[in-house]
Amino acid sequence: MDLMSRYPDNYFDLAIVDPPYGILNKTKRGGDHKFNMKEYLQWDKKPEDEYFNELFRVSKNQIIWGGNYFGQLWLRSEYNKGYIIWDKNQPESLNNFSMAEMAWSSLDKPSKIFHYSVRKNRNKIHPTQKPIELYEWLLKMYAKQGDKILDTHLGSGTIAVACYKAGISLTGCEISESYFNKSMEKIKENLSNIEFDLSIPNAYSITFPNQENETHELYEHLIEQNRQLRIFEEAQTEYETENANA
């Protein structure tokens, strides 16, 4: 919410988001259980209406993973055409595992299915990590060069790798420091020449070579806003340290 509040209406061309589905507590299923389930339980809380309202304010179009869990999305339109399925190629016999995941989308396009085995999703650093290939396919189908993409729940950051490879700009954030740090390592491992703009507190955005020199009114405004935030934070830390020593 903090990140989105900094952007004007319709700033992003496309939001590709994967918020918590809020299912772990109910079903004890979902995600990869080799990860820390206590940590997973802490963040697996469905976003409220105000999150979706803000998301629809800052972005022109949206692809929202776990759309089947967010009933309010289906009431936004008279018809919901362009939903997206990821067929995970799970055998039918594995009763406890979903064979697919679905994304709700605002796009007035035919429904599509992406076939990609969940077992190819190797070297995971996050319990609900989606494959880079899935994001690459989404960008190929629904985004174009010059688009600004938003992801409010980065998790492992696989979307960042896909965006970078596609030459598309991404702004994203992640609330968990440990996931964030792991995702940064992973991204740097995949993309040695990547440039991050880490000046936004609690979030990161990535600048790509073709957009580096762009001087945008809003960007300048954000730089100023962040400069002021940093000054405020430094002053606050100084004040707290002085008081602690007194």
Ligand X SMILES: C[S@@+](CC[C@H](N)C(=O)[O-])C[C@H]1O[C@@H](n2cnc3c(N)ncnc32)[C@H](O)[C@@H]1O
Binding site for ligand X (CB under 6 A): 18, 20, 43, 126, 128-130, 152-153, 155-156, 158, 173-176, 179
As measured in angstroms, the least distance from the Cβ of 214 to ligand X is 26
As measured in angstroms, the least distance from the Cβ of 238 to ligand X is 28
Find out whether 68 and 100 touch, Cβ atoms under 8 Å: no
As measured in angstroms, the least distance from the Cβ of 3 to ligand X is 8
Identity of the residue, 123 or 213, whose beta carbon is nearer to ligand X in the bound complex: 123
Identity of the residue, 46 or 221, whose beta carbon is nearer to ligand X in the bound complex: 46
First to last CA, the chain: 36
Question: Distance (Å, rounded) from C-alpha 49 to C-alpha 54?
Answer: 9
As measured in angstroms, the least distance from the Cβ of 77 to ligand X is 24
Q: Whose CA is closest to 7, among 169, 215, 171?
A: 171
Q: Whose CA is closest to 170, among 61, 14, 52?
A: 14
Sheet holding 100-105, edge to edge: 112-115, 84-87, 100-105, 59-65, 12-17, 148-151, 169-172, 204-207, 195-197
Buried b (16+ CB within 10 A) or exposed e, 18-34: bbbbbebeeeeebbeee
- Packing angle of the helix pair 158-166, 177-190 (nearest 10 deg): 40
As measured in angstroms, the least distance from the Cβ of 143 to ligand X is 16
Identity of the residue, 88 or 153, whose beta carbon is nearer to ligand X in the bound complex: 153
As measured in angstroms, the least distance from the Cβ of 232 to ligand X is 21
3-state secondary structure labels for all residues of 132-144: HHHHHHHHHHHCC
CA gyration radius, the chain: 19
Identity of the residue, 55 or 169, whose beta carbon is nearer to ligand X in the bound complex: 55
Identity of the residue, 48 or 233, whose beta carbon is nearer to ligand X in the bound complex: 48
Identity of the residue, 54 or 211, whose beta carbon is nearer to ligand X in the bound complex: 54
